[in-house]
Amino acid sequence: MKALRGVLLVAGALALGMGLLWIGQGLGLVMWPESSFMLADRRWAINGAVLAGVGLVLIWAGRRR
């Protein structure tokens, strides 16, 4: 059970980080890499918000007792 909690926490942290990156790229705040199709495209900001939400749920599930 302890291993599952660790997996949930790691997966949640990765999903949260990637979601925040997508939000930044979608809003045009993070313009990296320069040739990315995601830059300044609001759809990616929405996708990032959903992914960040999933990441938060995974972190919450991993921290529950």
The pLDDT value recorded for residue 9 is 97
Q: How far apart are CA 37 and CA 9, in angstroms?
A: 30
The pLDDT value recorded for residue 65 is 72
Note the pLDDT tens digit of each residue in 1-47.
889 999 999 999 999 999 999 999 999 999 999 999 999 999 999 99
The pLDDT value recorded for residue 1 is 82
Reply yes or no on whether the pLDDT at 62 is more than 90.
yes
So where are the chain's domains? 2-63
**Cβ atoms of residues 57 and 12 within 8 Å:** yes
> pTM to 2 decimals?
0.92
